[in-house]
Chains A and B, each alone.
Chain A
Amino acid sequence: MAAAMNYLESYKDMAANLCGQELPWLEQLRAEALTKFSVSGFPSPREEEWRYTNVSAIEKKLFTPVLGNVDSYPNRQAIDTVWLKPQQLQDAWSVVLVNGHFSAELSILEGLPEGVSVMSMADALVASHDYSALLETHLGRSVNLTEHGFVAFNMAWFTDGVFVHVPAKYVLTKPIQVLNVVTETDAMSTTRNLVILNEMAEAQVIETYVGMNPANAYLTAAVTEVVVGNNAHLTFYKLQTESEKSYHFGGTYVKQAQHARFTHHNFAFGGLLARCDIHTDLDHAAECELNGLYLGVKRQHFDNHTRINHLKPNAISRELYKGVLDGRARGVFQGRVIVAEDAQKTDSQMNNCNLLLSNDAEADTKPQLEIYADDVKCGHGVTVGQLDEKSIFYLQSRCVDEETARNMLTFAFANEMVDKIKIKSLHDQVLEQVVIRFPQEGIQKAWL
């Protein structure tokens, strides 16, 4: 894989600076990952699950990690706190990662309940800390290194990330926001996150990805592993508003125990090319809900790839992904639902709806149901189209001009997903993003 050689070459210089050096099991994982990546390289469109998304531009460029502690990092001063402030949600614990490194100075973690851990992955991986057993058990377990090149790449390269552990029966009163900021051009931010909720615990986690300078090109390659224990409930939001020229890969890999609930809301708005994987394994009577909204303009490319594994009986999955594509934007949705032979009484519904606002926009949608059980209720639906002419006429007959009617319907289409957000400050932040992404649509907040 000659194209990935430049990354492999540069790895030699950084290997000694990566976190978790003292842990033999991690060293072994990283070595395996490096071997896998040196063979496979980044994913290629020849792979079925990447057939619509070509990441060769990432291979051709060489994005480089920013090493060292960010609080002492020379460009630390470059982080504009005035700019940062509105990115941080009020009424949330905030973990700030800058260029793939935790910043204690910018993070706000006061008042966490005793026993709940929200900390830098690099810190958690220090062998003398109490977390190594937990990490050894779970890190790299929700997703296999053979999944694809980015997963292996992330394991070999990750510099830091977030470790969240909510012990049994704890219910967090405030959400935890993981705010990933990239300040440098040509930088690479490779983070590894692990979120563990023990039985009956409840929490809300928000992943935010944002570039400080809109002109910067950079790469984010993040992997988040999630473990939701028996009867635990995790609500997970992802707001991806990377800079216009950036590349984003984000994978969230979940294991849900019996009766565990996992709700994911995925807002993909930024970046030039953004791929998102969400995979979840459902144990007995677990419930998952996957919601997504992608808004593409200009030449943006979004690829959302979900996989729901119904492994045991009585689990429920609900999925709705919506896309609005303008300009020459392209939206890809690949949704797989796999119902194992053992997973009787599975109840699953998957939908993907795309709104194309221009003749040059494109939506590729591929829902897949693989059912090996015989007593299940599974459905899927897909739409790709323009605004409904009947709705436009109805609004016109109510005095609304055609252009405004179109704008109203476009906004309403997207707003359905925004309205599912239960956290007020995040809801407003996402809404703001929807509004600014389609300025030509004349979308008004008053339409709420």
Chain B
Amino acid sequence: MLKIENLHVSVGDKPILKGINLEIKTGEIHAIMGPNGSGKSTLSHVLSGKAGYEITQGSITYQGKDLTDMPPEIRAREGIFLAFQYPVEIPGVSNIYLLKAALNAVRKHHGQPEVDAMDFLTLVKHKVKMLEMDEKFLYRAVNEGFSGGEKKRNEILQMAILEPKLCILDETDSGLDIDALRIVTDGVNSLRSTERGFLMITHYQRLLDYIKPDVVHVLAQGKIVKSGGPELALELEAKGYSWLETNQVAA
């Protein structure tokens, strides 16, 4: 569903990604690990269409479509969802309003009528319960005054409502305590399906104990330096990133 070929990305004059190749098939879960500054977040931003990044070489193809010039909202409506590392607070816009606006935008994009108000409420309440959230959160402003864990849960709530095809989780585990991590990862696991692909970006192996990936990639200095099975994450945890970075230089 997603094919990244020889992707080079710069911010200003500074090259960040230097030739990424990655293919995610439906039903697969890929994890990208790497040290700080390796380009993990840049990759998630480029995939979701954030401004300020220049693709200097290579291509991104999603479901047979070229993503390069697609505006972020069209990517989102086409089924790409980014769960933010730092979800943004939007004072004055209620959570439930944004959920409904987002869902209706997706439906409109696919030529479907707007969601019935009652059906929508039933759906939302069901998902809220699943994520062990208080219904009050629905009527509060988006992420405003939420704790770190609440913000992350809210991201997964949005994901659960929108049912995207490609879920990109950017450091979803950061800032979560063990209980919140379990709730969030349960939420993610409930969305696992043969119709859906996942790209998980994480600094630590811990998340992968909860969500088992099919493939693990290691990103360093803007390149994927190693790919393997889940055991690669454990190896990294044991040896540290420096092991790979020196390897990379030697190679």
Q: Tell me which residues across on chain A come within 8 A of B102, comparing CB atoms.
A: 398-400
Q: Quick one: closest B residue to A389, CB to CB? A: B51
A416–B144 alpha-carbon span in the complex (Å): 12
A448–B93 alpha-carbon span in the complex (Å): 7
A15–B244 alpha-carbon span in the complex (Å): 92
A396 in contact with B72 (CB, 8 Å): yes
B93 in contact with A402 (CB, 8 Å): no
Chain A interface mostly helix, strand, loop or mixed?
helix
Q: Quick one: closest A residue to B107, CB to CB? A: A399
B92 in contact with A395 (CB, 8 Å): no
Known: A447-B97, A448-B97. A394 touches B92 (CB 8 A): no
B137 within 8 A of A: no
Number of interface residues of B (CB under 8 A): 30
B94 in contact with A448 (CB, 8 Å): yes
Stretch at the interface among B9-17, B81-89, B183-191, B194-202: B81-89
A448–B105 alpha-carbon span in the complex (Å): 18
Q: Tell me which residues across on chain A come within 8 A of B162, comparing CB atoms.
A: 398-399
Choose one: B49, B71, B88, B98; the contact of A390 (CB below 8 Å).
B88
Choose one: A393, A394, A399; the contact of B105 (CB below 8 Å).
A399
**What sequence of 0s and 1s flags, for each residue 430-448 of chain A, a beta carbon within 8 Å of any chain B beta carbon?**
0000000000000000111
**What sequence of 0s and 1s flags, for each residue 91-123 of chain B, a beta carbon within 8 Å of any chain A beta carbon?**
111100110011101100100000000000000
A395–B97 alpha-carbon span in the complex (Å): 12
A412 in contact with B91 (CB, 8 Å): yes
Minimal beta-carbon separation of B97 from chain A (angstroms): 6
Known: A408-B93, A446-B97. A399 touches B77 (CB 8 A): yes
A414–B162 alpha-carbon span in the complex (Å): 28
Candidate in A401, A419, A446 with the most chain B CB atoms within 10 angstroms: A401
Q: Tell me which residues across on chain A come within 8 A of B103, comparing CB atoms.
A: 399
B92 in contact with A412 (CB, 8 Å): yes
A431–B105 alpha-carbon span in the complex (Å): 25
**What sequence of 0s and 1s flags, for each residue 306-339 of chain A, a beta carbon within 8 Å of any chain B beta carbon?**
0000000000000000000000000000000000
Choose one: A389, A394, A396, A397; the contact of B90 (CB below 8 Å).
A394
A390–B101 alpha-carbon span in the complex (Å): 19
A108 within 8 A of B: no
A404–B49 alpha-carbon span in the complex (Å): 17
Q: Quick one: closest A residue to B168, CB to CB? A: A397
Counting from the closest, the 6 A-B pairs by CB-CB distance are: A412-B92, A399-B105, A394-B88, A396-B72, A399-B76, A399-B102
